[in-house]
Amino acid sequence: MSREDYEAVIGLEVHAELSTKTKIFCSCANEFGGEPNTNICPVCTAMPGALPVLNEKVVEYAVKAGLATNCSISKDSKNDRKNYFYPDTPKAYQISQYDKPLCENGHVEIETSDGNKKVIRIERIHIEDDAGKLNHDDFGGESLVDLNRAGVPLIETVSKPDMRSAEEAEQYLRKLKSIFEYIEVSDCKMQEGSLRADVNVSVRKKGDPLGTRTEMKNMNSFRSIVRAINYEIERQIDLIEDGRTGRARKLKVG
């Protein structure tokens, strides 16, 4: 089969750090670049008995983001624990939203270089807390943890798998970035990690059901996202052409 017989199916999960003055569940400053472990307290370092109190501004900013992306805003919403162990997350769970996100069923319109307009649907926008950061510089073979970022508020915007090329994915991310900057809910500084994307890619023969997807996590530049998507599309087409779909389908990445 020729490569033109294939199409890519791409969906993005975009994390944006909200530019609230304080963190999502405590009154620590939400600031980038401070001395390690200076903006921390018993809540964001997960001391036993510390109780999270939701920052009202986080809900306000997330609702603003939802309205600006044509979402419907849920009147009944809640937070959920997502349990996982990682050394930069002292609670050993993230406070996220599972079945009742704040915002659902939105869309934005993008324009590609050939002048075509396309609607990209948004499944949901939910709020959650960011993790801390591990520093792997040379500390005599040790890694050190900085919890200044632990508890920084995030919105995660989950698209439907509506994009068919790296260019469409880039235009979609640029659109979200400009909206979030314009309504001033996030500074979207990709070099500081305030805007990062997880990219899901699969390929299929045109018209076929969805193929096996891989997820590339935590990417924070347009260039790396475009290169990663194009590389992944070619890699997956090669696998299918080699007759390795069956094995590939069992692979779960990310």
Q: Footprint of Zn ion on this chain (CB under 5 A)?
A: 26, 28, 41, 43-44
Instruction: For residue 23, give the H/E element and its range.
Output: none
Amino acid at 103: C
Q: Which is nearer to Zn ion, 17 or 168 (CB)?
A: 17
Closest CB 1 distance from Zn ion, rounded Å:
55
Q: Which is nearer to Zn ion, 41 or 239 (CB)?
A: 41
For the chain, what's the residue count? Answer: 254
Amino acid at 198: D
**Measuring CA to CA, which residue among 154, 152, 155, 174 is closest to residue 163?**
174
Closest CB 39 distance from Zn ion, rounded Å:
7
Q: Which is nearer to Zn ion, 63 or 127 (CB)?
A: 127
Q: Which is nearer to Zn ion, 44 or 201 (CB)?
A: 44
Q: Which is nearer to Zn ion, 146 or 170 (CB)?
A: 146
Closest CB 129 distance from Zn ion, rounded Å:
10
CB 88 within 8 A of CB 133: yes
Closest CB 24 distance from Zn ion, rounded Å:
9
Buried b (16+ CB within 10 A) or exposed e, 201-212: bbbbeeeeeebb
Q: Which is nearer to Zn ion, 66 or 153 (CB)?
A: 153
CB 17 within 8 A of CB 129: no
Closest CB 28 distance from Zn ion, rounded Å:
3
Tokens 């994915």 found at: 169
Please provide residue 168's backbone torsions phi and psi, each rounded to the nearest 5 degrees. -65, -40
Residues 6+ apart with CB under 8 A from 168: 10, 110, 112, 118, 120
Closest CB 25 distance from Zn ion, rounded Å:
8
3-state secondary structure of 121: strand
